[in-house]
Amino acid sequence: MKSIKFAIGLSLALLSSAALAQSTTGKGTGGDEQVYGSQIMTQQERLEYRNRIREATTNEQREQIRAQHHEQMRMRAKERGVTLPDDPPARGMGGGMGGGMGKGPGR
């Protein structure tokens, strides 16, 4: 009985620490792949950009910050000879590959 409780406690601790690690690094909740031009930005620039977006109080302000950032990254990429996509990445709960909680295979 003690070993089962220990195993359950250990499992919960591991799951909690993994979730905490994801939330503090930004992975899984809008990591670097969600920032347009992140491959040509420093870690500090990505952090500052995310903070500016987070601190914006209206959708209009966020869109203005994104548009300015997009233009800056486009110009930086041109200077460095790097190709970036024309459009910023989609935001929100996009149409990913996940099937959700559908009927499952063969149904």
The pLDDT of residue 22 = 45
Q: In this structure, are residues 35 and 49 in contact, taking their beta carbons and an 8 Å threshold?
A: yes
pLDDT higher than 90, residue 64: yes
User: Quick one: 35 exposed, middle or buried, by C-beta within 10 A (0-12, 13-18, 19+)?
Assistant: buried
Angle (CA) 76 58 38, round 5°? 25
Query: Is the per-residue pLDDT at 35 higher than 70?
Result: yes
What pLDDT, on a 0 to 100 scale, did the predictor assign at position 41?
95
pTM of the predicted model, to two decimals?
0.54
Q: How confident is the model at residue 49 (pLDDT cuts 50, 70, 90)?
A: very high
Q: Does 29 score more than 50 pLDDT? A: no
